[in-house]
Structure 1
């Protein structure tokens, strides 16, 4: 009978150590998972902070050319620290919430040369081709969305 006491205490001690080890392992896994998530989110946020742009048109004087189709010119300036992909596949344009098809968008620099990226502090041109003219004197909203989700809007008066 005397040997039963220490044996049961030893078994209880081993069970307690196993349970404590399991809990510690689970906590270590959860902590590591949270740390990786925070690291990924921080990298994404840092990238978004380095990427920024502005639509720099005069909202009362939007350049338009053509008599059908009509080409509206919008100036985009990269005010971030990273180059921005500047193609119809990477940039979406909306006018009053309606997406402009990529085939109706042209991306150039200010001298008219086609470009695929907008470098920091560089100004680029987005030409939006429409089959119908925007109603003169009416207000419209253009929204430009980059591939990382950053977007800017401009309310403008149609010429």
Structure 2
């Protein structure tokens, strides 16, 4: 009888140890999932609050034929500031990434586009005609314009 009780106690303790290990793993996994969901939520919130539009006239995108610079105008249509420099945006014309020569905030020169402010992006591109122009922010917001570069 005593050996039966002893065996049951050992099995009971073993089950408690295994249960504690499994529940510890579940707590860790749940915590990691919760952190990941929180992170994704912050990224999505940032993406939704930062928005812009390309406001060039599609029939007449300005180009300086002497310098080979095409000028794009973007307006912050989001609710938060957008850092405004060549490292924040990527410009793709007809599928090719183009060099950004300069950026300028047309309202003030603080390097940030406040909501409803307009900025200018000068791109090294000297071809005329109709082109597909895509501007991508570092947050992943993409805007496309089919336009004629003059």
Fold similarity call, TM over 0.5: yes
Distance 1:96 1:29 in 2: 47
1:55 paired with 2:37, answer no
More strand per residue: 1 or 2? Answer: 2
Of 94, 103, 108, which aligns to 2:104?
A: 108
SS at match of 1:61: coil
Distance 1:71 1:10 in 2: 82
Match of 2:77 in 1: 79
- How many residues are matched? 150
Match of 1:19 in 2: 18
| TM-score (normalizing by structure 1) | 0.85
SS at match of 2:27: helix
Match of 1:122 in 2: 117
Per-residue CA deviations over 1:46-79 (Å, capped at 9, x if unaligned) read 01111100001110121233x4223322210000
User: Is this contact kept in 1: 2:106–2:117, CA < 8 A?
Assistant: no
Match of 1:143 in 2: 134
**Structure 1: gaps spanning 5 or more residues:** none
Per-residue CA deviations over 1:106-131 (Å, capped at 9, x if unaligned) read 212336x655211111011112243x
Distance 1:114 1:72 in 2: 21
Per-residue CA deviations over 1:2-43 (Å, capped at 9, x if unaligned) read 211111111111111111111111111111111111011101
Distance 2:48 2:75 in 1: 15
RMSD: 1.7
SS at match of 1:5: helix
User: Is this contact kept in 2: 1:107–1:115, CA < 8 A?
Assistant: no
| TM-score (normalizing by structure 2) | 0.90
Distance 1:154 1:35 in 2: 39
1:134 paired with 2:127, answer yes
